Homo-oligomer: A and B are copies of this chain.
Amino acid sequence: MSNIKRNVINSAKSNVVEMAHGNGGRAMAEFIDTLFIAAFNNGQLNQKTDASCFHTQQGRMVMTTDGHVISPLFFPGGNIGSLSIHGTINDIAMMGALPRYISCGFILEESYPLSDLSDIVLAMAKAAKEANVEIITGDTKVVEKGKADGVFITTTGIGELASGINISPQHIHAGDKIIVNGSLGDHGISILAQRNTLGFETSLQSDSASLSDLVQTILASFSTELHCLRDPTRGGLAATLNELAQQSKLGFSLDEDAIPIKDEVDAACELLGLDPLYIANEGKFVAFCSAYAANDILSLIKQHPLGKEAAIIGEVTHDPRYLVELTTPYGGKRIVHWRYDDQLPRIC
């Protein structure tokens, strides 16, 4: 057991979250010191002000926020803590920006075990450190048992956007190639498998990971050839591509055979009647890039640990209907619809 975890448990009256941990008294101050400030250790947090200061250069920054309500809180390949940091880093990376600072707001349910909470917070600290971002400010609230579901975490990130980088749906062009950096659906299916009621087992792990390093690697060589990036989280590749088709006012033509999907994901989807294109990912991007550079960009991605199974999965077309179309292995075509609802609640 880590020292931090031991201290958190030893300094509390019991081994669970109490209402007092969120009520602004001495218990809250000690709780924040023992857990959050100890885990996220940095000069800003140590000052214990309600806001933290950082230095800027003239230029552009990006800001993003995400609430995390995933159930269950722990899953193969991570927990809500690592997921919250990876998710926020990735939203910044999808703008082509370099993630620098993160804030975290915790909403805790009374009686949640302090031991599990410590594991979540330590996973956040580890994920932030690995991606070279600092958690500089935070907040803790506690609600009565039955008024939340264990732990909700809202993370907000800010990053620096270098001049000359313009990654957006408006920069997608007809003829662009569409690349994904690896297999789809791993996160969603590993969460589903973890939900006890579903009755299937798999060795699959969530793909939850920080994509910032990989994106920076591409930008270093292909900053003008990379036109748009988006992470296909909730709603999967299908929702992401439909949203981008609407925003870019173009169509996307996909080659079903080229889309990397693990056998375990395929098998689970068969069993449960799901379509892997609609399943959430947490360590994947879909990239739109100039056709002439696509093979070089693909080679570069494949050299990165998070891009070994990368593939060109389709291309951008002129289509006044803004549709996402899939060519099946038998040469047929089907439309990948934008569903009203999605199949999996609380996947992130």
Judging by beta carbons under 8 Å apart, are A53 and B61 in contact? yes
Main secondary structure of the interface of A (DSSP, over half): mixed
Q: Is the CB of B341 within 8 A of A23?
A: yes
Q: How far is the CA of A62 from the CA of B55 in the complex (A)?
A: 9
In the complex, the answer to whether A152 meets B107 with C-beta atoms within 8 Å is yes
CB <8 Å contact, B56 and A59 = yes
Q: What B residues does A62 contact at CB under 8 A?
A: 51-54
Q: Does A217 contact B (CB under 8 A)?
A: no
Q: Which residues of B contact A95 (CB under 8 A)?
A: 49-51, 53
- Taking the nearest CB of chain B, how far is it from the CB of A26, in angstroms? 5
Query: Which among A131-139, A264-272, A290-298, A311-319 touches the partner chain?
Result: A131-139
List A residues 9-24 near B (Cβ within 8 Å). Answer: 18-20, 22-24
**B residues within 8 A CB of A157?**
51
Asked whether A50 and B94 contact (CB < 8 A) given A23-B344, A156-B103, the answer is yes
Are the C-beta atoms of A60 and B50 separated by less than 8 Å?
no
The CA of A47 and the CA of B63, in the complex, are separated in Å by 13
Q: Are B139 and A143 neighbours in the complex by a CB distance under 8 Å?
A: no
Docked pose: A28 CA to B233 CA in angstroms: 13
Give chain B residues whose Cβ lies under 8 Å from the Cβ of A52: 62-64
B24 touches A63 (CB 8 A): no
Cβ-based interface call for A329 (8 A):
no
Given contacts A20-B341, A23-B341, A149-B143, contact A54 B60 (CB under 8 A): yes
Residues of B within 8 A of A138 (CB): 65
Using CB atoms, name the residue of chain B closest to A234.
Answer: B24
Q: Given A56-B57, A67-B105, A105-B65, A339–B141 Cβ distance below 8 Å?
A: no
Say yes or no: A69 contacts B107, CB within 8 Å: yes
Q: Which one, B20, B22, B51, B57, contacts A58 given CB within 8 A?
A: B57
Chain B residues near A107: list those with CB within 8 A.
67, 69, 107, 152, 154
Does A168 sit within 8 A of B, measured CB to CB? yes
What's the Cα separation between A52 and B345 when bound, in Å? Answer: 26
User: Of residues 131 to 164 in A, which have CB atoms within 8 Å of B's CB atoms?
Assistant: 136-144, 146-149, 152, 154, 156-159, 161
A219-240 residues with Cβ-Cβ distance < 8 A to B are: 230-231, 233-236, 239
Contacts of A128 in B (CB 8 A): none
Q: How large is the interface on A (under 10, 10 to 19, 20 to 34, 35 or more residues)?
A: 35 or more
| Distance of A242 Cα from B92 Cα, bound (Å) | 38
A252 at the interface (CB under 8 A from B): no
Q: Answer yes or no: A280 CB below 8 A from chain B CBs.
A: yes
User: Is A262 engaged at the interface, CB distance under 8 Å to the other chain?
Assistant: no
Judge whether A158 and B23 touch: CB under 8 Å: no
Tell yes or no: A201 within 8 A of B by CB: no
Among A104, A342, A344: residue with most chain B CB under 10 A: A342
With A56-B60, A158-B63, A239-B24: A147-B144 Cβ-Cβ less than 8 Å: no
Closest 6 CB pairs of A and B: A24-B234, A24-B235, A51-B64, A154-B154, A156-B156, A20-B341
Sample of 17 more A-B contacts, CB < 8 Å, known A47-B168, A154-B154: A24-B280, A25-B339, A25-B340, A28-B235, A29-B338, A49-B169, A51-B91, A51-B94, A55-B60, A63-B101, A64-B103, A103-B156, A107-B152, A143-B149, A144-B345, A144-B346, A147-B148
